[in-house]
Amino acid sequence: MGHIFVIAEHRNGEIRDITFEMLQKAGALAQDLSCNVTAVLLAGPGETFADDLAKWADQVLVLEDERIKTYDSDFYTGIVAALVKEQQPLLTLMGHTSWGMDYAPAVAARTGYPLATDATDILLEDGFPRVIRQMYGGKLFSRVSFSPSAGYMITVRPGAFQADGAGEKSGEVVSQTLPEGLESPRREFLEFEDTAAGDVDITQADFLVSVGRGVGDADNIGTVQELADLLGGTLSCSRPVVDKNWLPKYHQVGTSGKSVKPKVYLALGISGAFQHVAGIAGADCVIAVNKDKKAPIFRVADYGIADDLFTVVDALKEKTKSG
């Protein structure tokens, strides 16, 4: 029986959401392939991530060392490449993140396994993986096939899959020593600084109130912010709002911003360009307000209101205050 590798990501003492998203998809693929899911954890001594991962995987392969307490591409490349060569997983999933984009190509080069990047979906055809990825900034979706190989490597776009609820597995935790002959790193980690960080993290919000070009002017952002506060939501926006410097970039949703997966996404004055729509693919419910009845956002919305956004905003604020 083969297995699927999922390379876990952690940062500042927390497992990143992309890890659970990949494990959820790996579990679905494993059922069709009749194989197991192995979460691979590279961490510092005494980290407590393994128990959380065991709820999502049949096995957790733990490699602990002070040198990998924080991410280092040289060590990750050497360790993951050695594990793939040794265990020959059918699939190896990595996040299409700053980590994955850094070390995945090097691992593919060392192992000879083909690599597909930035997957928004993974399909199986006759037992072989096919990757769905976007082209031309999201205007087209392509289906990528692989040359025959003993195994395949894929980086997965954050937010492409849902990690619904808690995992129900109780995987075996197996400790393993680091491979011998690892090269000394060429860089030294000093500190982690998230340049996209700000006052809010829209990727963690359950309710987003998002504003687009239709807001008209920077002075009107405060009106939408007030509505978001009243509804207990988080303010986000489309790219034109950031381009005009009306809101900082960490509020931006879309392919050039952040992919989000709220329970409710309220889009106010957003036309629905493909770049923006790609970023809200993980939303449970999309409510769109736009005075243009032909706005593309209505094609993906669960509920739509063809009206001026300020009319709707004022009505919602009045209803919320009176309620």
Q: C-alpha distances in angstroms, 106 versus 178, 249, 264?
A: 18, 30, 39
**pLDDT tens by residue, 78-113:** 999 999 999 999 999 999 988 999 999 999 999 999
Tell me 22's DSSP state: H
Structure tokens at 191: 């500190």
Domains and CATH numbers, the chain: 3-175 (3.40.50.620), 202-322 (3.40.50.1220)
- The predicted model gives 188-192 an average pLDDT of 75
Structure tokens at 95: 């996040």
What is the length of the chain?
323
Q: Which of the four pLDDT bands, split at 50, 70 and 90, describes residue 188?
A: confident
Whether the CB-CB separation of 93 and 26 falls below 8 Å is answered with: yes
Per-residue pLDDT at 251 = 94
**pLDDT tens by residue, 258-273:** 888 899 999 999 999 8
Whether the CB-CB separation of 163 and 95 falls below 8 Å is answered with: no
Residues 6+ apart with CB under 8 A from 81: 106, 107, 110, 111
Residue 262: burial class (beta carbons within 10 Å; 0-12, 13-18, 19+)? buried
pLDDT of 314 higher than 60: yes
The C-alpha R_g of the chain, in whole angstroms, comes to: 22
- Pairing relationship of beta strands 128-135 and 140-144 according to DSSP bridges: antiparallel
The whole-angstrom separation of Cα 31 and Cα 16 is 24
Structure tokens at 240: 């034109």
Each residue of 271-283: b (16+ CB within 10 Å) or e?
bbbbbbbbbbbbb
- Report how far apart the first and last C-alpha atoms of the chain are (Å, whole number): 58
Main-chain dihedrals φ then ψ at residue 207, nearest 5 degrees: -135, 115
Structure tokens at 53: 């991962």
The structure tokens 């037992």 sit at 127
By percentage, how much of the chain surpasses pLDDT 70? 96
Structure tokens at 267: 């889009």
- The predicted model gives 27-36 an average pLDDT of 93
pLDDT of 137 higher than 70: no
By percentage, how much of the chain surpasses pLDDT 90? 68
Whether the CB-CB separation of 297 and 303 falls below 8 Å is answered with: no
The whole-angstrom separation of Cα 122 and Cα 143 is 9
Per-residue pLDDT at 247 = 95
